[in-house]
Amino acid sequence: MSRPLNSETISYGIAPRINAVGRLDDAAIALDLLLTKDQDEANRLVMALNNFNVERQDEQRRMISEAIELMSGRDMTDVKVLVLSSSNWNPGVVGIVAGKIAERYYRPTVVIGVDESGTRGKGSAKHAGKVSAKAKVETFAADIVAASAPFAVTDQDGRLVGEIAPQAVIDLLAGRKTKEVRP
């Protein structure tokens, strides 16, 4: 059954699937779909994009659950910013997770997916409400270029990103003493 092409089908049907493939694999797959003239190829690519979207949703749920588990039982009284990292987290999904955790705990949140070597990570900073994470963080050099822009953190000496990023964010908060929260 074919639905009419309108802003709703694009916003809630097509765009999330195109976005998902870029988060989890190669966005060229979506481009191939948009450029193909072969109906069988288009059908195959639509199924692939749908599968990526389901995988992204599953990954997002798992990561949010793990982040909430990391937070469970913690005294949040003096915590001004959340910095969470894991080698089990997909860097393509950290921005979505950061947004959900920021909404849940109503604090600026940085979520980082650390690579297998434990020396590099990609993350995203988000804040719930009307104040952006960028406004809460005076500067983070070139690593955070916008409130929701992904950032990559690596140490020249190969130190674990989970040890570097939390302190960097904490040190750069405008006049606030902050406890770091990490695994």
**pLDDT tens digits for 106-158?**
888 888 888 777 767 788 888 776 544 444 443 333 233 333 333 444 444 44
In a domain, residue 29? The reply is yes
**pLDDT tens digits for 79-88?**
777 888 888 9
| Domain of residue 53, residue span | 7-63
Choice between 181 and 102, residue whose per-residue pLDDT is larger: 102
Smallest CA-to-CA distance from 144 within 80, 89, 88, 94 is with 94
Task: Work out how many domains the chain is built from and give that number.
Answer: 2
pLDDT of residue 172: 42
**pLDDT tens digits for 90-100?**
989 999 999 99
- In the structure, what pLDDT confidence band is assigned to residue 76 with cuts at 50, 70 and 90? confident
pTM above 0.75, yes or no: no
| Overall average pLDDT of the 160-166 stretch | 39
In a domain, residue 182? The reply is no
CA torsion angle 114 116 118 124 (round to 10): -10
**pLDDT tens digits for 11-36?**
888 899 999 999 999 999 999 999 99
Please indicate, yes or no, whether residues 82 and 167 belong to a single structural domain of this protein: yes
Report yes or no: 172 and 140 within 8 Å, Cβ to Cβ: yes
Please indicate, yes or no, whether residues 41 and 109 belong to a single structural domain of this protein: no
Residue 136's H or E segment, with its range, is helix 133-136
Please indicate, yes or no, whether residues 96 and 41 belong to a single structural domain of this protein: no
In a domain, residue 177? The reply is no
Alpha-carbon distance of 82 to 97, in angstroms, equals 12
pLDDT of residue 36: 95
Please indicate, yes or no, whether residues 39 and 124 belong to a single structural domain of this protein: no
